[in-house]
Amino acid sequence: MDKEYLNFLKDAYNGGLCNEYRDEIRRCHEDKLSLVRLAMRQQSIPYIATKMHEGTITKEYVQKAFGGFLNGFILNDCDCVDGYTYAWYVDYAYDNGINLDVDVAHVSFTKDVDVIVSATKCPVLYVSNGSKVRLICEGYNNINVKLFDESELIVEDMDASSNVVVYKYSDESKVERGKFCLKEPKVFVKELRL
């Protein structure tokens, strides 16, 4: 176990992490795949995004420790929902955009990337750590976006058959409507509770 992970554990235990998650971390701390699956639970993502934003755990550490499970690797059933798929994108810097064919995705530390949602897909998208995402809906989508810190979402392309609902957990986050967005995204401000 390295020093940064130990500091994260100390912060997690001293910061009021519930007993259930303490036990989960304790059970799987030697298994990187299990740790990534725990971090990708929908109850965990806001906590992880916040701890990364605070610097408790760094982008570099996540890339080094979990690089094989990022940027396109598909995880299954992280929330114990049979058939649900998950992906975590950290500092995604490839020329092609992210084809979002999973049910839950977390985009962090990623600038100027297109996130393309296939027709009829209804994913949950978490955007954190200063990421800037251009959302492109291919039709009949119902997308739930959770926006953290100073991250930005541009709903670039959305037809009238689709819906984008955004929950902003920071006053510094931004939502814009792009030139091909035919419908206003619904934006709600929420209090972040960890």
Please give the angle made by the CA atoms of 139, 142 and 145, to the nearest 5 degrees. Answer: 120
Q: How many residues does the chain have?
A: 194
Structure confidence at residue 142 as a pLDDT band (50, 70, 90): very high
Residue 28 buriedness (CB in 10 A; 0-12 / 13-18 / 19+): middle
Q: What is the pLDDT of residues 22-42, one digit of tens each?
A: 788 878 877 889 999 999 999
| 65 pLDDT more than 80 | yes
**Arithmetic mean of pLDDT, 122-151:** 97
Residue 67 in this model has a pLDDT that exceeds 70: yes
Q: Concatenated DSSP letters for 142-175?
A: EEEEEE-TT-EEEEEEE-TT-EEEEEE--TT-EE
pLDDT band at 16 (very low <50, low <70, confident <90, very high): low
* pLDDT of the residue at 1: 59
State pLDDT tens for residues 166-176.
999 999 999 99
**For the chain, what is the radius of gyration of the CA atoms?**
16
Residue of higher predicted confidence among 49 and 17: 49
For the segment 114-133, what is each residue's pLDDT rounded down to a tens digit?
999 999 999 999 999 999 99
Tell me the average pLDDT of the chain. 92
What residue spans define the domains of the chain? 3-189
